[in-house]
Amino acid sequence: MAARCEATAQIDLGAIASSIRACADAAPTAAVMAVVKADGYGHGLVPSARAALVGGATWLGTAHVGEAIALRKAGIAAPILSWLNPPGTPLDAAVATGIDLAVSAVWALDEVVAAAGHTGKTARLHLKIDTGLRRNGVLAREIEPLLDAVAKAQADGSVEVVGAMTHFVHADLPDHALISEQVAEFTAALEVAARHGIRPAIRHCANSAATLTRPDTHFDLVRPGIACYGLTPIPQAGPPSRFGLTPAMTLIAPVALTKPVRAGEGVSYGHLWTAERDGHVALVPLGYADGVPRAATNVAEVLLGGRRERIAGRVCMDQFLVTASADVVAGDEVVLFGPGDRGEPTAQDWADALDTISYEIVTRIGPRVRRTYVNDPASGSRPAADESS
């Protein structure tokens, strides 16, 4: 096979669009917000956002306001919500470009109102309500002071309350009883808001798992995250294909070097792996600086030479070793994970081996790994195209 000279995360944009359509099909009564935070879960912020919009998303979601502004600078005009902005975050550009902002406290509202004053534009707000997760959001039982302040700001014309949101505690357990309790608490908080003259038109709380399995949580908008990238939020329920999802990322690297090892010889730091018999190892130029977890030592597998091979020895900052057959040579392709249709491990396989979640596997792929994009649904292009993430 053709030699490769660098590590590449190949992103199938058509798979992202297809997975968005699957989410939309699962929530036919709601609009779809594609969550593209964390550089599109490692897939590339702008390319992922564009593919999601082609697939049927009508909203985009980010954690930080800087991510939302980057989407605006890329020419994306769709509604965008940013929901995690600590005190002092510059908000003028967000308000000026029509980015929706979530508020969880009076001080946060005050900063949005100040940005509205600076820009001369009415800020678009979403109330973020904590119904049990105890992270971001105003506690539902303590919401009235915020509602009083929001009602005043809305009457003054500083803000428009567009939406209200909450987030589930059991993101990967859609049948958990607490989800229904959270929905009830969210609904009760909306009733309190209505008594203050605040009636958000867009109510949203469904994450990927709820989008796919809990129509009672869909309200006006669903917020799939990991499902946008073709990975299942409920691995215990079966592979992504069960929900019509197609994994979008394939992580590939070249073999940098091969060498023989004799029975009893150890490799890499600390000799945590020792050859049981004479054989060979191949060096892969990726390491924990690139997002390959150090915990993958001796447990994670790759596809090399048409065979599953296991990491041999400690994963280092820039490189790791895998077992290899004698015919593997420098330049051969190593597939760390992908959709699995060629026999390669999937991101979920890596997550299972490392006792983590697929979200962590894909989002931690670092900037030294070049992103390439294929199957762009906006252009119909098939060959890979380079584009920095």
Catalytic residues: 37, 269
Distances (CA, A) of 156 to 93, 103, 116, 118, 365: 21, 17, 11, 15, 46
Residue 143, Cβ neighbours under 10 Å: how many? 22
Angle, alpha carbons 369-3-9 (nearest 5°):
25
Q: Is residue 273 within a helix (H) or strand (E), and if so which, with residue range?
A: strand 273-274
What SS3 string covers 79-121? Answer: CEEECCCCCCCCCHHHHHCCCEEEECCHHHHHHHHHHHHHHCC
| Residues sharing a CB contact under 8 Å with residue 331, sequence separation 6 or more, in sequence order | 3, 4, 5, 254, 255
φ/ψ (deg, to 5) at 59: -130, 160
Question: Where are the alpha helices (H) located in the chain, listed in sequence order?
Answer: 13-26, 37-41, 45-55, 65-73, 92-96, 106-119, 144-155, 177-195, 208-213, 347-354, 358-363
**Alpha-carbon distance 335 to 177, whole Å?**
40
Distances (CA, A) of 18 to 93, 211, 368, 373, 382: 32, 15, 28, 15, 15
Provide the CB-side half-sphere exposure for 62 (13 A, CA).
27
Can you tell me which residue has the tokens 């940098």? 256
Indicate the burial class of 43 (C-beta count within 10 angstroms; 0-12, 13-18, 19 or more).
buried
Residue 194: DSSP 8-state:
H
**Alpha-carbon distance 58 to 146, whole Å?**
29
Q: Is 21 helix (H, G, I), strand (E, B) or coil?
A: helix
